[in-house]
Amino acid sequence: MINIILLGPPGAGKGTQARHLVETRGMVQLSTGDMLREAQANGSEMGKKVAAVIERGELVTDEIVIGLIREKIAEGAKGGFIFDGFPRTLGQADALGDLLAETGLKLDAVIEMAVDDAALVARITGRSTCGGCGEVYHDQTKPWAADGKCTNCGSTDIKRRADDNEDSLKTRLMEYYKKTSPLLGYYYAKGDLKSVDGLVAIDEVKAAIGKVLG
């Protein structure tokens, strides 16, 4: 059982790689972004509270996301956890360290997915996902089939995120550089950081991560 963090700016491909690790290694993906969108879709009080913050591209409070992660860690995961989009601040990183220690778990690797900013804008502004199975599509590089059906599950439910536009992306990138990128130094100093090139083809990134995880 291994527990890892996927670290990188929005559009680096964290979600795509996490889905692959779930399928091939039986790991459990913990995406705080997905959890927050789910809370919004369910119309919960918390979901309503964070909707505008997310749409602007700002980070929600540490307290909220740490609470979400605490619940999930308590449920356990046989194949280990993939932390995707969490932690995003030094406070969250410290809290994750404490939560794992309390549960007797350890972090095996923090994988940085390195990409350049110009690529992120193109990746994010053309992005959509299948509402049925979560398959990720892109207007230019992986468009939907002409019949509008997902090649993976057949659903016709095309979802685009409200924060996948150029304005919100600017804020999301700024939040990343100000608050999340210091985690690279934090985990480097702990000896946990591994870096893979996130700009190469999806299968090559999969192989690079596979090599890191052994």
Catalytic residue ranges:
14, 88, 127, 161, 172
Of 40, 57, 110, 194, the one binding ligand AMP by CB under 6 A: 57
The sheet carrying 193-197 orders its strands as 28-31, 81-84, 4-7, 109-114, 193-197
Q: Is 198 in the site for ligand AMP (CB under 6 A)?
A: no
Candidate list 4, 36, 95, 169; residue touching ligand AMP; CB under 6 A: 36
Q: Which residue in the shown chain puts its C-beta closest to ligand AMP?
A: 33
Cβ neighbors of 30 (< 8 A, separation 6 or more) are: 69, 72, 73, 81, 82, 83, 84, 86
Would you state the torsion angle of the CA atoms of residues 28, 31, 37, 38, taken in this order, to the nearest 10 degrees? Answer: 20
Q: How many residues bind ligand AMP (CB under 6 A)?
A: 17
Q: Are the C-beta atoms of residues 3 and 80 closer than 8 Å to each other?
A: yes
99 touches ligand AMP by CB under 6 A: no
**Cβ proximity to ligand AMP, 12 vs 193, nearer residue:** 12
Using CB under 6 A as the criterion, which residues of the chain lie in contact with ligand AMP when the complex forms? 10, 32-33, 36, 53-54, 57-60, 65, 85-86, 88, 92, 163, 172
